[in-house]
Amino acid sequence: MSNSISRSGLQLRSMVRQDAMLELSLVTLAIPDPAPDEVVIRVEATPLNPSDLALLLAGADIDTAQASGTVDLPVFTASIPNQAMGALADRLNKSLPVGNEGAGVVIRVGSSDAAQALLGKTVAVLGRSMYAQYRCVPAEACLVLPEGTTAAQGASCFINPLTALGMVETMRREGHSALVHTAAASSLGRMLNRLCLRDNIGLVNIVRKVEQEEILRADGAMYVCNSSSRTFLRDLTQAIAATGATIGFDATGGGELAGKILSCMEGALKLIEKESYSFYGSMTHKQIYLYGRLDSRPVNFTQTFGMAWGMGGWLLTPFLQKMGPAAVQKLRERVAQEVNTTFASQFSKEISLAQALQPEMIAAYAKNATGEKYLINPSI
């Protein structure tokens, strides 16, 4: 695509049809003239995060994929299993834009001073609908990236960095001093590890593969436990005892892992507190937040961790609302300052909007595999 200022651009859409088919397509939209306090961004980088994939792919069976349309305007269809359709009733036959965050260059601005100041700047935006060539957004939604930072480097400036910061903030606000994290070799996990090392916070990383242990140890992680190891429960209990972690954030959100973490916290507290036997277990509160759904099985646990515990969901948006605009602004500023260090993201492949609809590409990025995050560049 040329750099000339266009009047229209493509946007990716996801639709769940009445006939239980997922349909992905590209639509052409006119670029609106920005209002006084708005700017138009040419989007150059937008990541395919797990939360985007949930909306984009709607649980469709990728093995049933069919490609149609043209090279420039491809259409992807795949069938959705019957058991998944119930939860999709609210989006039936709605053509939904996708893409929670991204970055690009401001190419048109409204008349306000705030908007004018952004012309030509590379900015990051948390703006939904980012799988598009152009986005018109309020000037105040833009995070100006430090001089020399590319759109690709700034594409993941919000979801994962603010979640990592949010976990640490939640830990502090709820009176804990160290934390446990699962699927810890994820992009987010590596950010959280760097953040905790930098801020001197105890962190127990849980992974499921030896190569993931190696990634985190090479990043400087002190405590890495492998859930596939025979000694996992003992290792986890010891790491929790060493750090004093009493809060955990679980990205798997299914199966037995959350319960095992609470049991190991209880075991570690017994080692630390050395109090006499109580039927109710340790009086220290243990908390686990399920914040992802990487494991689609139901959560399953045996209650072996006394009575002082909690398990709940954790989501970035309500957390930011609770923090309030001033505190959130401070977090955003820290992310901008450390976007190439603490909050750096790595992408394994850069693809165009049309390529994002190719069945073999979807099969690859839908895996959510370690080190395999894809980046869409709508400008190519």
Ligand X SMILES: NC(=O)c1ccc[n+]([C@@H]2O[C@H](COP(=O)([O-])OP(=O)(O)OC[C@H]3O[C@@H](n4cnc5c(N)ncnc54)[C@H](OP(=O)(O)O)[C@@H]3O)[C@@H](O)[C@H]2O)c1
Contacts (CB under 6 A) with ligand X, residues 220-259:
251-252
Contacts (CB under 6 A) with ligand X, residues 103-132:
none
Q: Which residues of 57-84 are buried (b: 16+ CB within 10 A; e: fewer)?
A: bbbbebeebeeeeeeeebebbbbbeeeb
Q: Min. distance of Cβ 52 from ligand X in angstroms? A: 9
Per rule CB under 6 A, is residue 294 in the interface with ligand X? yes
CA-nearest of 300, 212, 211, 213 to 254 is 300
CB closer to ligand X out of 118 and 130: 130
Per rule CB under 6 A, is residue 194 in the interface with ligand X? no
Residues in contact with ligand X, counted by CB under 6 A, come to a total of: 26
Helix or strand or coil: residue 172? helix
CB closer to ligand X out of 53 and 151: 53
**Cα–Cα distance, 335 to 256 (Å, whole number):** 33
Per rule CB under 6 A, is residue 209 in the interface with ligand X? yes
Q: What is the per-residue DSSP string for 282-306?
A: -SS-EEEEE---SS-SPB-----S-
For the window 42-61, what string marks contact with ligand X as x by the rule CB under 6 A?
Answer: -------xxx----------
Q: Min. distance of Cβ 236 from ligand X in angstroms? A: 14
Determine which residue in the list 31, 143, 295, 354 makes contact with ligand X, applying CB under 6 A: 295
For the window 154-193, what string marks contact with ligand X as x by the rule CB under 6 A?
Answer: -----xx--x-------------------x-xxxx-----
Helix or strand or coil: residue 132? strand
Residues of this chain that interact with ligand X (CB under 6 A) are 49-51, 159-160, 163, 183, 185-188, 208-209, 251-252, 291-292, 294-295, 314-316, 368-370, 373
